[in-house]
Amino acid sequence: MDVIKVAATSRSTAVAGAIAGVIRETGQVDVQAIGAGAVNQAIKALIIARGYLELDGIDIVCVPSFVEVSIGDQERTAVRLSVEKREQEPGTGI
């Protein structure tokens, strides 16, 4: 399972490229961020990635959750954005 870790200093276009790449290959990717600055960069990257993937006819949705992660000997609460292709309604083409 791929996890893309995003920091407040991450470039959102670079993260967007990584998200789009994994989605094209596997259809699913988890994006993880700790702190407001990192969560903001992750969401911006996701919006940019939607634009990239739209060109390939791929629509994505995101399901956010909290996850506990260990950093050194500290427990931190991270935001995980589970990004996946949107389920299409059969026959409607939307």
Question: Among 11-19, 20-28, 45-53, 68-76, which window interacts with a copy of itself (CB under 8 A)?
Answer: 45-53
Binder among 4, 43, 53, 78 for a copy of itself (CB under 8 A): 43
CA atoms within 13 A on the CB side of 19: 35
Tokens of 19: 């998200």
Tell me if 31 sits within 8 A of 49, measured CB to CB: no
Within 10-29, the residues that bind a copy of itself by CB under 8 A are none
Q: How far is the CB of 41 from a copy of itself (least distance, A)?
A: 8
Q: What is the DSSP letter of 82?
A: E
